[in-house]
Structure 1
Amino acid sequence: MSKTIAIVTGSSRGLGAALAGQLATQVNQLVTVSRTDNRQLHELARQHGCHHIHHEADLADPAQIDQASLDIFSQLDLSANQYILINNAGTLGPVGQYNSLGHNKAQDIAHAFNLNVNSVIVLTSAFLRATRPTGADIRILNISSGAGRSPTAGWGVYCATKAALDMYTRVAKQEAPHAKLVSLAPGVIDTAMQKQIRELDLNDFPNRSRFTQLHDKGELSNPEQLAHKILNYLHRDDFGQTEIDDIRHYS
């Protein structure tokens, strides 16, 4: 009998919540990591016979990254046929051009790199070590951004973290040929981050009008619909063949 265990970070809201909610109806065990728990997700998982484990952690804090990794993988069930890790947690980070990213911004920048990059490296490494002896189907999906592939003024930190995420995915794929890894750009989603972007100061983010227009024209992706599309992509037979990908390339 097949058995799937899925791990999702940043599961409390937005795309992460949508991915976790749909996985709760599909997999045998769901492990979530975020700063806040979601009781509705526990109930949904229970209704569908899915064992849900939540780890409360701020993945922008190095100590909590290490603790979450230890907590998850010290008790991971190694009897599954398939393991899925979705590194979804992320932040826009400090926004601003060179003239505002100097004094007193180092901690904010480190916070963004911890969440967007460091947590992914630590959790992915632990995940690969833990699951390799199982011989199971191992899939890792890192939620990236087109910002990591196209420079945008004011997004120096965000673009840099997502570019680093893309490159780390490529490196990890070389190191772990037994696993399938993809860094996926999900497009522009109707989430709290988008609301934050529309409220940015034009001096910090000159491209604000593009995102305001996308919202006004109703062109932002719905998180639930996008999660469904991403999970279909995750289960494709050719998943992992293109390690740097964009969900908008798929119907």
Structure 2
Amino acid sequence: MKKIFIITGANRGLGSAFVNVLMEDQNNFVISISRSVNEVQKTYAESNFYFLNIDLSQNSIDKKITILKKLINTEAIYFINNASIIKPISKIEDLDETNIDHTLSVNVKSTILITKYLLQHFNQNKLSFINISSGAANRPISHWSLYCSSKAFIKMFFNVAETEYPKHRFFNIDPGVMDTNMQENIRESNFPEVSNFKNLKVDGKLKSPKEVAIEILNTVI
């Protein structure tokens, strides 16, 4: 029986690496919840890959994901909560309402809605929820107020969900620092700890997304 993998932010970075690794096994069916597909993903067979075009910052996500009922039967489901945005990197006094709404919609609200939907409609399936967390969920980083707070929120949300639904599995996994567009954005930003992140790149201490994807999948499958 195929395994179903629902991945947010699957078009680049770690999300794209998850897809590429999973596509090596024909028993996997990946549902990408993203705003676009990359060139490699366009080549994948419909029998193993489905693109669900959703902007996680917008409303009505719960209505848009009803298509999952047509795509999933009794298979084991793995929801990989990967999508998140770190911008704006700025002091709290410089945040505006648009920044706040956008970041929290992607990093928090969308995760809650997808998790809720899966528990409502696929409670009889074997469900595994994998939150791609961050060290920022555990320590404050100046100018990262929205990112740190949203990462801490979802970590606790999954911890609570685990107490409510003990028959399902919930993971909070910190993948460490990776060589992704997010790290590039961090290095180009102005905040007190930026030199530390620049040094990670110079010193070759950034993991490859594929390496991290393999490690995480070996843990949760």
Q: Same fold (TM over 0.5)?
A: yes
Does the CA contact (< 8 Å) of 1:24 and 1:41 recur in 2?
Answer: no
The CA RMSD measured in Å over matched residues stands at: 1.6
| Number of equivalenced pairs | 220
Partner of 1:133: 124
Matched, 1:150 2:150: no
Partner of 1:75: 70
Partner of 1:187: 176
TM-score by length of 2: 0.93
Please report how far the alpha carbon of residue 42 of structure 1 lies from its aligned counterpart in structure 2 after TM superposition.
4.4
Does the CA contact (< 8 Å) of 2:12 and 2:38 recur in 1?
Answer: no
Partner of 2:62: 66
CA distance in 2, matches of 1:50, 1:116: 29
CA distance in 2, matches of 1:61, 1:148: 24
Matched, 1:36 2:36: yes
Matched, 1:209 2:195: yes
Q: Following superposition of structure 1 onto structure 2, how do residues 21-32 of structure 1 map, counting pairs within 5 Å?
A: 21-26=20-25, 27-32=27-32
Does the CA contact (< 8 Å) of 2:179 and 2:209 recur in 1?
Answer: yes
CA distance in 1, matches of 2:167, 2:117: 14
Paired residue type of 1:41: Q
2:52 to 51, 55, 62: 55
Gaps of 5+ in 2: none
CA distance in 2, matches of 1:228, 1:180: 19
Gaps of 5+ in 1: 236-251
Partner of 2:161: 172
Please report how far the alpha carbon of residue 50 of structure 1 lies from its aligned counterpart in structure 2 after TM superposition.
4.8
1:87 to 78, 81, 86: 81
Paired residue type of 2:119: L
TM-score by length of 1: 0.83
Paired residue type of 2:164: E
- Given the superposition, is the C-alpha separation of residues 6 and 111 from structure 1 closer, same or farther in structure 2, using an over 3 Å criterion? same
CA distance in 1, matches of 2:56, 2:197: 27
User: Is the partner of 1:117 in helix, strand or coil?
Assistant: helix
Does the CA contact (< 8 Å) of 2:22 and 2:28 recur in 1?
Answer: no
Partner of 1:238: none
Paired residue type of 1:61: Q
